Amino acid sequence: PWLFMDDMYHGLEHDTDPLTLAFDIYPEKGVSLNGLSKTFGMPGIRIGWLLSQNQDFIRQVTSLKDYTTVCASSPSEILAIMALENAKELHLRQKEIVSKGLNNLETFIYRNKELRWSRPAGGTFCLVQLPQSACPASHYCDSLIERKELMILPASLFGFNDTLVRLCYGKSDLSICLNEWQDDINKYGWS
């Protein structure tokens, strides 16, 4: 069997060293997927890569890519080269944004004690449980869009129950969003 890991968030672990990549765990048949979107904070670039120590696998994937992809966007390739040349700075910037966002979210949840969550160990997203008194998350999120133009996604869109919302804390403007959300909670509660 092969071990394939989506390592797009590699390097965005919180309070710990980066986790071991799949191709290091299982050199014969380990494959790690990575790219610029998460760790580098460049989701629009749409450039990624596979890492594997299995040379036969790399040859097969390269051959398949040659038949299925004419070329990536030239501007994306140029920006990707620039990003990789400045990888350390971009990675540190993204870690800073994510860390600040996580701290802001933690403060927000502490202030709104009826919310429940488990502080994430890495990445840029988490699930937060709304209070028992709240309407279903799908209805609540629709209301937030109507009242505040604030988009929070119900976790039911991702197969979870309708008491949870999915939040991104990897945004540089998160404090503005949380202030808007707090204002809505103060005015309307959890309806």
Question: What's the confidence (pLDDT) of residue 12?
Answer: 94
pLDDT reported for residue 150: 93
pLDDT tens per residue, range 145-188: 999 999 999 999 999 999 999 999 999 999 999 999 999 999 99
pLDDT at 34: 95
- Pairing mode of beta strands 30-35, 3-6: parallel
pTM, two decimals, is 0.88
Within a 10 A sphere around the Cβ of 190, how many other Cβ atoms? 17
pLDDT digits (tens, 9 = 90+) for 33-61: 999 999 999 988 889 999 999 999 999 99
- Which token pair is 122? 């890495």
